[in-house]
Chains A and B, each alone.
Chain A
Amino acid sequence: AQKITQTQPGMFVQEKEAVTLDCTYDTSDPSYGLFWYKQPSSGEMIFLIYQGSYDQQNATEGRYSLNFQKARKSANLVISASQLGDSAMYFCAMREGRWGGADGLTFGKGTHLIIQP
Protein backbone atom coordinates (compact mmCIF):
# COMPACT_ATOMS: atom_id res chain seq x y z
CA ALA A 1 0.00 0.00 0.00
CA GLN A 2 1.16 3.50 -0.76
CA LYS A 3 2.39 5.32 2.28
CA ILE A 4 2.07 8.79 0.75
CA THR A 5 -0.75 9.64 -1.65
CA GLN A 6 -0.94 12.80 -3.67
CA THR A 7 -4.17 12.66 -5.64
CA GLN A 8 -3.64 15.73 -7.86
CA PRO A 9 -1.19 14.92 -10.68
CA GLY A 10 -1.51 18.47 -12.01
CA MET A 11 -3.10 21.79 -11.07
CA PHE A 12 -3.59 25.10 -12.86
CA VAL A 13 -4.06 28.13 -10.61
CA GLN A 14 -4.37 31.85 -11.32
CA GLU A 15 -1.59 34.06 -10.00
CA LYS A 16 -2.31 35.57 -6.55
CA GLU A 17 -4.83 32.84 -5.67
CA ALA A 18 -4.28 30.51 -2.73
CA VAL A 19 -3.42 26.90 -3.56
CA THR A 20 -3.99 23.73 -1.56
CA LEU A 21 -1.98 20.63 -2.50
CA ASP A 22 -3.34 17.42 -1.03
CA CYS A 23 -1.35 14.77 0.77
CA THR A 24 -2.56 11.77 2.75
CA TYR A 25 -0.29 9.36 4.52
CA ASP A 26 -0.42 5.92 6.05
CA THR A 27 1.56 4.85 9.09
CA SER A 28 1.06 2.93 12.30
CA ASP A 29 4.08 4.55 13.92
CA PRO A 30 2.97 7.21 16.45
CA SER A 31 6.14 9.19 15.77
CA TYR A 32 6.69 10.52 12.28
CA GLY A 33 7.58 13.64 10.36
CA LEU A 34 5.93 15.07 7.28
CA PHE A 35 7.82 17.18 4.77
CA TRP A 36 7.04 19.13 1.63
CA TYR A 37 9.60 19.74 -1.09
CA LYS A 38 9.47 21.82 -4.25
CA GLN A 39 11.22 20.71 -7.44
CA PRO A 40 11.38 23.42 -10.13
CA SER A 41 12.13 22.53 -13.73
CA SER A 42 15.83 23.02 -13.00
CA GLY A 43 15.66 19.81 -10.95
CA GLU A 44 16.84 20.69 -7.45
CA MET A 45 14.78 19.64 -4.42
CA ILE A 46 13.95 22.57 -2.15
CA PHE A 47 12.72 22.00 1.41
CA LEU A 48 9.60 24.00 2.18
CA ILE A 49 8.04 22.96 5.47
CA TYR A 50 8.04 20.29 8.18
CA GLN A 51 5.36 18.98 10.54
CA GLY A 52 6.05 16.54 13.36
CA SER A 53 3.39 14.11 14.50
CA TYR A 54 3.50 15.49 18.04
CA ASP A 55 3.38 19.12 17.02
CA GLN A 56 0.26 20.78 18.40
CA GLN A 57 0.14 23.63 15.92
CA ASN A 58 0.16 23.64 12.15
CA ALA A 59 3.55 24.55 10.71
CA THR A 60 4.00 27.81 8.82
CA GLU A 61 6.95 29.17 6.82
CA GLY A 62 6.28 32.47 5.10
CA ARG A 63 3.66 31.90 2.39
CA TYR A 64 3.59 28.16 3.11
CA SER A 65 1.45 26.53 5.75
CA LEU A 66 0.65 22.94 6.45
CA ASN A 67 -2.93 21.95 7.22
CA PHE A 68 -2.26 18.96 9.48
CA GLN A 69 -5.28 16.80 10.29
CA LYS A 70 -3.89 13.90 12.27
CA ALA A 71 -7.11 11.90 12.60
CA ARG A 72 -7.63 12.04 8.85
CA LYS A 73 -3.92 11.40 8.21
CA SER A 74 -3.69 14.36 5.91
CA ALA A 75 -1.00 17.01 5.58
CA ASN A 76 -2.05 19.45 2.90
CA LEU A 77 0.27 22.24 1.79
CA VAL A 78 -1.29 25.67 1.45
CA ILE A 79 0.46 28.34 -0.58
CA SER A 80 -1.01 31.79 -0.07
CA ALA A 81 -0.95 34.45 -2.78
CA SER A 82 0.63 32.26 -5.46
CA GLN A 83 3.36 33.65 -7.69
CA LEU A 84 4.61 32.63 -11.14
CA GLY A 85 7.77 31.31 -9.51
CA ASP A 86 5.69 28.77 -7.57
CA SER A 87 5.24 26.75 -10.76
CA ALA A 88 6.99 23.45 -10.01
CA MET A 89 6.51 19.84 -8.88
CA TYR A 90 5.61 19.54 -5.22
CA PHE A 91 6.36 16.41 -3.23
CA CYS A 92 4.96 15.32 0.10
CA ALA A 93 7.23 12.99 2.08
CA MET A 94 7.20 11.13 5.38
CA ARG A 95 9.79 9.71 7.71
CA GLU A 96 8.73 7.29 10.43
CA GLY A 97 10.36 6.95 13.85
CA ARG A 98 11.53 9.72 16.16
CA TRP A 99 15.04 8.69 17.16
CA GLY A 100 15.27 5.08 16.15
CA GLY A 101 14.17 5.54 12.60
CA ALA A 102 17.11 5.65 10.24
CA ASP A 103 15.27 5.18 6.99
CA GLY A 104 15.08 7.83 4.38
CA LEU A 105 12.04 9.73 3.27
CA THR A 106 9.11 8.06 1.53
CA PHE A 107 7.83 10.33 -1.21
CA GLY A 108 4.51 10.69 -2.95
CA LYS A 109 4.30 10.86 -6.74
CA GLY A 110 4.06 14.64 -6.69
CA THR A 111 1.73 17.36 -7.94
CA HIS A 112 2.70 19.48 -10.93
CA LEU A 113 1.55 23.03 -10.12
CA ILE A 114 1.32 25.62 -12.88
CA ILE A 115 0.60 29.23 -11.98
CA GLN A 116 -1.05 31.18 -14.77
CA PRO A 117 -0.73 34.98 -15.14
Chain B
Amino acid sequence: DSGVTQTPKHLITATGQRVTLRCSPRSGDLSVYWYQQSLDQGLQFLIHYYNGEERAKGNILERFSAQQFPDLHSELNLSSLELGDSALYFCASSVVGAGTDTQYFGPGTRLTVL
Protein backbone atom coordinates (compact mmCIF):
# COMPACT_ATOMS: atom_id res chain seq x y z
CA ASP B 1 0.00 0.00 0.00
CA SER B 2 1.62 3.26 -1.19
CA GLY B 3 -0.48 5.48 1.08
CA VAL B 4 -2.01 7.27 -1.91
CA THR B 5 -5.76 6.77 -2.22
CA GLN B 6 -7.95 7.20 -5.29
CA THR B 7 -11.69 7.05 -5.69
CA PRO B 8 -13.63 5.63 -7.34
CA LYS B 9 -11.88 2.42 -8.38
CA HIS B 10 -14.04 1.98 -11.45
CA LEU B 11 -16.20 4.41 -13.37
CA ILE B 12 -18.44 3.64 -16.32
CA THR B 13 -20.08 6.52 -18.13
CA ALA B 14 -21.33 7.60 -21.53
CA THR B 15 -19.85 9.82 -24.20
CA GLY B 16 -20.42 13.51 -23.62
CA GLN B 17 -20.59 13.16 -19.85
CA ARG B 18 -18.39 14.71 -17.17
CA VAL B 19 -16.66 12.86 -14.32
CA THR B 20 -14.47 13.75 -11.36
CA LEU B 21 -11.66 11.57 -10.09
CA ARG B 22 -10.35 12.10 -6.58
CA CYS B 23 -6.90 11.58 -5.09
CA SER B 24 -5.53 11.89 -1.57
CA PRO B 25 -1.74 12.04 -1.38
CA ARG B 26 0.46 10.33 1.21
CA SER B 27 0.59 12.11 4.52
CA GLY B 28 3.14 14.92 4.30
CA ASP B 29 3.41 14.95 0.50
CA LEU B 30 2.80 18.33 -1.11
CA SER B 31 2.98 17.34 -4.77
CA VAL B 32 0.31 15.50 -6.72
CA TYR B 33 0.70 14.27 -10.28
CA TRP B 34 -1.92 12.85 -12.62
CA TYR B 35 -1.14 10.24 -15.28
CA GLN B 36 -3.19 8.47 -17.94
CA GLN B 37 -2.44 4.89 -19.01
CA SER B 38 -4.01 3.67 -22.23
CA LEU B 39 -3.18 0.84 -24.59
CA ASP B 40 -2.22 3.07 -27.50
CA GLN B 41 -0.54 5.97 -25.66
CA GLY B 42 1.07 4.12 -22.76
CA LEU B 43 1.66 6.04 -19.53
CA GLN B 44 1.45 9.79 -20.00
CA PHE B 45 1.94 12.63 -17.56
CA LEU B 46 -1.03 14.98 -17.45
CA ILE B 47 -0.47 17.62 -14.77
CA HIS B 48 1.42 18.41 -11.56
CA TYR B 49 0.20 20.40 -8.56
CA TYR B 50 2.37 21.51 -5.68
CA ASN B 51 0.80 22.81 -2.48
CA GLY B 52 -2.29 24.01 -4.31
CA GLU B 53 -0.55 25.58 -7.29
CA GLU B 54 -0.24 24.19 -10.80
CA ARG B 55 3.46 23.48 -11.48
CA ALA B 56 3.55 21.75 -14.86
CA LYS B 57 1.29 20.51 -17.62
CA GLY B 58 1.95 17.51 -19.77
CA ASN B 59 -0.29 16.04 -22.46
CA ILE B 60 -3.50 17.17 -20.84
CA LEU B 61 -6.46 17.88 -23.11
CA GLU B 62 -8.35 21.15 -22.80
CA ARG B 63 -11.44 19.14 -21.83
CA PHE B 64 -9.57 17.98 -18.72
CA SER B 65 -8.79 20.11 -15.69
CA ALA B 66 -7.47 19.55 -12.20
CA GLN B 67 -7.11 21.30 -8.90
CA GLN B 68 -5.51 20.73 -5.54
CA PHE B 69 -7.36 21.81 -2.43
CA PRO B 70 -6.03 23.30 0.84
CA ASP B 71 -6.12 19.84 2.47
CA LEU B 72 -3.87 18.73 -0.45
CA HIS B 73 -6.30 16.29 -1.99
CA SER B 74 -6.67 16.69 -5.73
CA GLU B 75 -9.44 16.21 -8.27
CA LEU B 76 -9.17 15.56 -11.99
CA ASN B 77 -12.21 16.66 -13.97
CA LEU B 78 -12.84 15.10 -17.37
CA SER B 79 -15.60 16.60 -19.49
CA SER B 80 -17.23 15.99 -22.89
CA LEU B 81 -15.95 12.45 -22.62
CA GLU B 82 -15.05 10.50 -25.74
CA LEU B 83 -14.52 6.79 -26.28
CA GLY B 84 -10.78 7.41 -26.47
CA ASP B 85 -10.72 8.75 -22.92
CA SER B 86 -11.23 5.23 -21.61
CA ALA B 87 -8.07 4.52 -19.63
CA LEU B 88 -6.55 3.92 -16.24
CA TYR B 89 -5.96 7.22 -14.46
CA PHE B 90 -3.33 7.32 -11.78
CA CYS B 91 -2.41 9.96 -9.32
CA ALA B 92 0.98 9.95 -7.65
CA SER B 93 2.37 12.00 -4.82
CA SER B 94 5.83 13.06 -3.72
CA VAL B 95 7.25 15.14 -0.92
CA VAL B 96 8.11 18.41 -2.66
CA GLY B 97 8.14 17.73 -6.38
CA ALA B 98 11.88 17.88 -6.92
CA GLY B 99 13.51 15.83 -9.63
CA THR B 100 14.98 13.45 -7.09
CA ASP B 101 11.69 12.79 -5.33
CA THR B 102 10.16 9.37 -5.65
CA GLN B 103 6.58 9.45 -6.85
CA TYR B 104 4.28 6.96 -5.15
CA PHE B 105 1.26 5.91 -7.15
CA GLY B 106 -2.30 5.32 -6.09
CA PRO B 107 -4.24 2.22 -7.18
CA GLY B 108 -5.78 4.07 -10.14
CA THR B 109 -9.28 4.76 -11.39
CA ARG B 110 -10.36 2.72 -14.39
CA LEU B 111 -12.59 4.85 -16.58
CA THR B 112 -14.74 3.24 -19.25
CA VAL B 113 -16.58 5.51 -21.66
CA LEU B 114 -19.38 3.77 -23.59
User: Which residues of A pack against B, CB within 8 Å?
Assistant: 31-33, 35, 37, 43-47, 50, 52, 91, 93, 95-107, 109-110
Contact = CB atoms under 8 A, between A and B. Distances in A.
B100 A52 contact: yes
A35 B102 contact: yes
A46 B108 CA distance: 12
B99 A47 contact: no
Interface stretch (B12-20, B50-58, B66-74): B50-58
Interface string B71-111: 00000000000000000101010000111101111111010
Interface string B38-58: 000011111110100001101
Contacts of A107: 42-44
Contacts of B108: 43-45
Nearest to A91: B43
Interface of B: 2, 33, 35, 42-48, 50, 55-56, 58, 88, 90, 92, 97-100, 102-108, 110
Contacts of B42: 107, 109-110
Contacts of B44: 107
Interface of B is mostly: strand
Contacts of A99: 98-99
Given A43-B110, A44-B107, A106 B45 contact: yes
B49 to A, nearest CB: 10
B102 A103 contact: no
Nearest to A49: B102
Given A33-B99, A95-B99, A47 B105 contact: yes
A43 B18 CA distance: 24
Contacts of B107: 43-44
B105 A32 contact: no
A115 to B, nearest CB: 23
